[in-house]
């Protein structure tokens, strides 16, 4: 990924609705050359998807909670991974080192919805030894923007 690719990657993160002419201004290339660059970034998987950032409160899921889940090792772990992907309220699921197996980021409407999700969906997944729930009181920073950095391979080219 060269400097032009980095500029395009940063620009599309900041505004996924930016047109090719806007991206061409950022990249310093023609619109057609910029379109080719964007296409290659998509093909390489640098740009994985295009989406809009929605306001959680406006779409009915203002409550942000984090769950730490401990799973018994073995087949339950495979089933947990498969089933957790199906739950719409689970925005992220990360495997951890240490005493907890997974960290989940959830968005739901309210405490009652969180309670129902835990009781009816998460705790029924089998293999769960224990769960710890923490509710975010406020969010100081929440972003999907990645720092687009140079890699050692970039320096070689």
pLDDT of 141 above 90? yes
pLDDT of 157 above 70? no
Question: What integer pLDDT is reported at residue 111 of this predicted model?
Answer: 98
Q: Please, are residues 86 and 121 in contact by the beta-carbon 8 Å criterion?
A: no
Residue 127 sits in a domain whose CATH number is: 3.30.70.920
* Residues 71 and 113 reside in one and the same domain: yes
Please state the domain count of the chain. Answer: 2
* Residues 85 and 126 reside in one and the same domain: yes
Expressed as residue numbers, the domain containing 90 is 63-135
Going from the C-alpha of 25 to that of each of 10, 30, 116, the distances in angstroms are 13, 8, 49
Provide the terminal-to-terminal Cα distance of the chain, rounded to the nearest Å.
Answer: 9
What global pTM score does this model have?
Answer: 0.83
Tens-place pLDDT, residues 39-61:
999 999 999 999 888 999 999 99
3-state secondary structure 25-53: HHHCCCHHHHHHHHHHHHHCCCCCCCCCC
């Amino acid at each position: 990924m060269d400097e032009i690719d980095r500029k395009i990657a940063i620009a599309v993160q900041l505004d996924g609705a930016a047109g090719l002419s806007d991206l061409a201004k950022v990249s310093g290339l023609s619109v057609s050359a910029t379109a080719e660059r964007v296409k290659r970034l998509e093909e390489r998987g640098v740009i994985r998807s295009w989406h809009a950032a929605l306001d959680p409160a406006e779409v009915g899921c203002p409550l942000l909670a984090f769950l730490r889940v401990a799973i018994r090792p073995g087949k339950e772990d495979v089933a947990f991974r498969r089933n957790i992907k199906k739950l719409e309220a689970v925005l992220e699921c990360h495997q951890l080192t240490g005493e907890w197996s997974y960290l989940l980021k959830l968005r739901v409407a309210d405490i009652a919805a969180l309670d129902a999700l835990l009781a009816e969906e998460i705790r029924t997944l089998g293999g769960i030894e224990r769960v710890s729930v923490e509710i975010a009181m406020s969010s100081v920073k929440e972003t999907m923007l990645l720092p687009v950095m140079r890699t050692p391979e970039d320096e070689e080219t």
